[in-house]
Amino acid sequence: MSEAETEAEILREQLLLYAENYHRFVLDLMPRLDRNCSEKALNEISELTVYYRKAFADLANQGERLATLYYLTSSRLLSTLWRLLGRPTDLEDLIHL
């Protein structure tokens, strides 16, 4: 396996790990919000969403096309959370985190 193929495989594995954890995070999100929809809880969820969003952006910038879809999904989730918190929700604003 060439070095480029090895790097591509590592990126793919990273994406799969982030994607699996992101899916768990999103699936846990609704019951968590049912229990506690406070500003503090929304801010904590926003922080995790920013973390995943940045990770997916980094992977997308390295050529993982599927990461772009996760980036867009996490951006939409962040926009929704920020709307609930009364923050600016324009996705263009989110690019500059």
Domain ranges of the chain: 3-94
Note the pLDDT of residue 1: 76
Query: Lowest-pLDDT range, 9-23, 56-70, 81-95?
Result: 81-95
Q: What is the pTM of this model?
A: 0.84
The Cα 50–Cα 10 span in angstroms is 23
Question: Side-chain half-sphere of 40: how many Cα atoms within 13 Å?
Answer: 2
Q: Is the model more confident about 95 or about 1?
A: 1
Confidence of residue 6 (pLDDT cuts 50, 70, 90): confident
Do 97 and 53 touch, CB atoms closer than 8 A? yes
The mean per-residue pLDDT over the stretch 70-95 comes to: 84
The Cα 51–Cα 54 span in angstroms is 5
pLDDT at 38 exceeding the cut of 60: yes
The mean per-residue pLDDT over the stretch 77-83 comes to: 93
Note the pLDDT of residue 95: 53
The mean per-residue pLDDT over the stretch 40-44 comes to: 94
The Cα 84–Cα 61 span in angstroms is 29
